[in-house]
A and B are shown apart, each in its own frame.
Chain A
């Protein structure tokens, strides 16, 4: 869980993790556009959603009803 742009908290053990740190064994991919089958990358940090909307790979998609894991 992000607390700011630099870091977050592990939802399990509550430890602070810097965004650029290596992940631990319990790490699970967040639900993001880049893990969704509706997303196609077009260039660095940009892409398309369902072939019609601009989108970006790092966007959280936790609340997206159209999210389909690859």
Chain B
């Protein structure tokens, strides 16, 4: 072993990647409190665990089995109807907006018609848990603080499913029984049968096993990452839509193209189910009123009952009605599939006509509006998504990504920001809960007062709004949807679907009091399905190891046989392996989505999305106005480019070490324990082995290689080359809807699990540690030249080539303090977006506070941080992501 004194370099990697946060911390700026009603609801939420039930899948399956032989979409509609009409209503005291996904506050349920495999493969384990179940003591229950609302372990009569959802033990046997009924019939099972017919399927299996791709698309989250459209219910009411269905049915019955008939019939059936569901809640509200002694609360229950009875048939009369109806349809869509990223869109513009009407009449005040909006925030925050386990934990971090957008332009190209959106921002500050997260569609035409309000919201540490460039998004949309008829006017109707997916919209004519308002809403299916999250550093690892997954020793790709004698050799093999990956995943996921459309088509969401109702086609039959919505998602782009820069410089230009020596160093993890051994996932918390000095020189040279984020042309040119090639190559692959695909660059939470299975990388990152987040965020601690250098690196390519780009920054609270701080902060954001950037989001937080929160989670139940496209409670994040957020570069100057 070499002695440290013999080395002309430091032995602490901390010196390369920032200092460990120590000492006391500075809190975020003080904020206003929520209204007392909502503060109470928030406390109740904090005390509530994620809970699963079997009610909906039970009734869905029971009805489904009864209708064997029926037309598939009708069978599906009847099954959904049965699920809805049997949901047990639950209205909590103080609620002004009623109705929820299931009967629990954070209720959700498995959907075995999509995938049942988990329950069958875990059947024995789950039954063992049931046998071991006993009566829980109060103490046991209260020890569940760690993990926030997650049921992290089985306690008493509650079985923990995947450390997230609690299920009563008495529901487990029926869940297994219901799941078994879907064996070989679920979208997952049938899709799997047919995707095996794709040439190269074996490679796909190995890609998934190596975690080069994070998860399949068609049976996991087949919908979502899209923008809701509430136009039809708001304009016509439920009975009005049923009338449209009846008229359309009559016009197409017996006419060729009969699928239209079945579609209209299925929508009609499903709406009957929704009506029964709404009326069950109205009945429950009356029952609650009958028990209530407090006169005010009694009146509120009766008002809920009256409102729901009205809305079960009619279009809304007031802002409160409209908000309630919006919520009903939002939940209704969420109940038809496992869905993440179902964004309500530009709610402030959609509901403005009703709000203005009520304000003009004097029947609504700003204070009451804020209270209602805070209630809406609590409703969105209580949403949970019961998807497959790897998806919920490894991708979503328990989040559901309901993105509400403010700002942007109206149909005529003027600022669309309005007074209601100011109140939406205000309520998001007073009721700082994770959902809905906000995105501000930045345009130079937006008023300064509105932008300052946005900054004030961002800087109190909510992580929202994210700042998104309206013009870049419109350019992307016009490039990609022109063929389907998108013009400039309609490009303005866009919004963010999910965490950061640019989604096409349209303007629909809502009539209120004789005036026509063109309201924006989503007009496309899920905009982030197709190829989910390819780990770029892992593909590069396969290049270095001749197509093997070095961690498992399994062959993933055909051996390339190249001696990799030049940088171009490496780059070319990388492109080859990446292309193989995209090709096989596109084909297999196309099959999965085709099966989804055949077995489990969307009915509720289809009905809402223009122009499905008009043309009589559901989403999977291209009923939407815009259908070019499949994409290719990647993760770890900055680690890829930093690694390429290191190899290019160290191996081929300066010849500091050979490729064989680099691989030996990677094999040895540069002389450190792996993150999986230490349990720490950022570079600043790693543990050396006894022989680390053997690798210190080469590690230092890797760390010293040019790093993205410093306005360094050497590495930025590589970044640009990658970006241009990636965006272009996606167009070579054709989606199920027969359209070219496009690139999508978000990491969500995948940078943690994908980092966990990846060896050390040539940029000096150690084995198992989390990748850089987002797509244009610097690797934590490696951006040393200040924010403007980072901005220059990030905008070295055209962001409109891709559906998005994602930049996370961490700002110390002292930098943005006061009115002056707000102005400085806004100027910095503007400077970045004016350079052509698509997106930036911020954590305004002192890292030492996060360290303290990691040690003492019980003191931080309400602490929120921005991860990558979403805000989440700190205590509900996995340690891999927590470590990564702590390690991010903290800017103490932005001027």
Contact B174 A19 (CB under 8 A): no
In the complex, per-residue mask of B39-73: 1 if CB is within 8 Å of any chain A CB, else 0: 00000100111111011001000100000000000
Q: A4-B105, A11-B291, A62-B88 are in contact. Are A53 and B49 (CB under 8 A)?
A: no
Of B51, B62, B86, B135, the contact of A20 (CB 8 Å cutoff) = B135
Collect the chain B residues with CB atoms within 8 Å of residue A58's CB: 168, 170-171
Contact B168 A46 (CB under 8 A): no
Q: A11-B291, A58-B171 are in contact. Are A63 and B88 (CB under 8 A)?
A: yes
Of A9, A18, A59, the contact of B141 (CB 8 Å cutoff) = A18
Collect the chain A residues with CB atoms within 8 Å of residue B52's CB: 5
Of A4, A18, A53, the contact of B136 (CB 8 Å cutoff) = A18
Q: Which residue of A lies closest to B85 (CB)?
A: A63
In the complex, per-residue mask of B84-114: 1 if CB is within 8 Å of any chain A CB, else 0: 0111111011000000000111100000000
Contact A6 B90 (CB under 8 A): no
Contact A60 B141 (CB under 8 A): no
Q: A14-B93, A20-B157, A46-B177 are in contact. Are A4 and B166 (CB under 8 A)?
A: yes
Listed residue (A5, A44, A53, A64) with the most chain B CB atoms within 10 angstroms of its CB: A5
Contact A53 B106 (CB under 8 A): no
Q: Least Cβ distance of A67 to chain B in Å?
A: 11
CA distance A16 to B44 in the complex (A): 10
CA distance A19 to B168 in the complex (A): 10
B122-153 interface (Cβ within 8 A of A): 135-136, 138, 141, 151
Contact A5 B141 (CB under 8 A): no
CA distance A55 to B88 in the complex (A): 16
Contact B288 A11 (CB under 8 A): yes
Q: How large is the interface on B (under 10, 10 to 19, 20 to 34, 35 or more residues)?
A: 35 or more
Q: A18-B141, A20-B157 are in contact. Are A9 and B103 (CB under 8 A)?
A: no
B325 interfacial contact with A, CB 8 Å: no
B156 interfacial contact with A, CB 8 Å: yes
In the complex, per-residue mask of B15-52: 1 if CB is within 8 Å of any chain A CB, else 0: 00000000000000000000000000000100111111
Contact B93 A2 (CB under 8 A): no
Contact B92 A12 (CB under 8 A): no
A43-66 interface (Cβ within 8 A of B): 43-46, 53-60, 62-64
Contact A5 B135 (CB under 8 A): no
Contact A46 B174 (CB under 8 A): yes
Q: A20-B156, A58-B168, A63-B88 are in contact. Are A2 and B103 (CB under 8 A)?
A: yes
Q: Least Cβ distance of A23 to chain B in Å?
A: 14
In the complex, per-residue mask of B656-688: 1 if CB is within 8 Å of any chain A CB, else 0: 000000000000000000000000000000000
B699-749 interface (Cβ within 8 A of A): none
Q: A54-B174, A56-B171, A63-B86 are in contact. Are A5 and B138 (CB under 8 A)?
A: no
A1-37 interface (Cβ within 8 A of B): 1-7, 9, 11-12, 14, 16, 18-20
Collect the chain B residues with CB atoms within 8 Å of residue A7's CB: 141
CA distance A45 to B170 in the complex (A): 6
Collect the chain A residues with CB atoms within 8 Å of residue B87's CB: 63
B280 interfacial contact with A, CB 8 Å: yes
Q: Least Cβ distance of B132 to chain A in Å?
A: 14
Of B88, B166, B177, the contact of A6 (CB 8 Å cutoff) = B166
CA distance A3 to B44 in the complex (A): 9
Contact B48 A4 (CB under 8 A): yes
In the complex, per-residue mask of B592-633: 1 if CB is within 8 Å of any chain A CB, else 0: 000000000000000000000000000000000000000000
B172 interfacial contact with A, CB 8 Å: yes
Q: Which residue of B lies closest to A20 (CB)?
A: B135
B413 interfacial contact with A, CB 8 Å: no
B468 interfacial contact with A, CB 8 Å: no
Contact A59 B49 (CB under 8 A): no
Q: Least Cβ distance of A24 to chain B in Å?
A: 14
CA distance A2 to B103 in the complex (A): 7
Contact A5 B89 (CB under 8 A): no
Collect the chain A residues with CB atoms within 8 Å of residue B178's CB: 54
Collect the chain B residues with CB atoms within 8 Å of residue A16's CB: 47
Q: Least Cβ distance of B379 to chain A in Å?
A: 15
Which B residues contact A (CB, under 8 angstroms)? Answer: 44, 47-52, 54-55, 58, 62, 85-90, 92-93, 103-106, 135-136, 138, 141, 151, 155-158, 166-174, 177-178, 280, 288, 291
Which A residues contact B (CB, under 8 angstroms)? Answer: 1-7, 9, 11-12, 14, 16, 18-20, 43-46, 53-60, 62-64
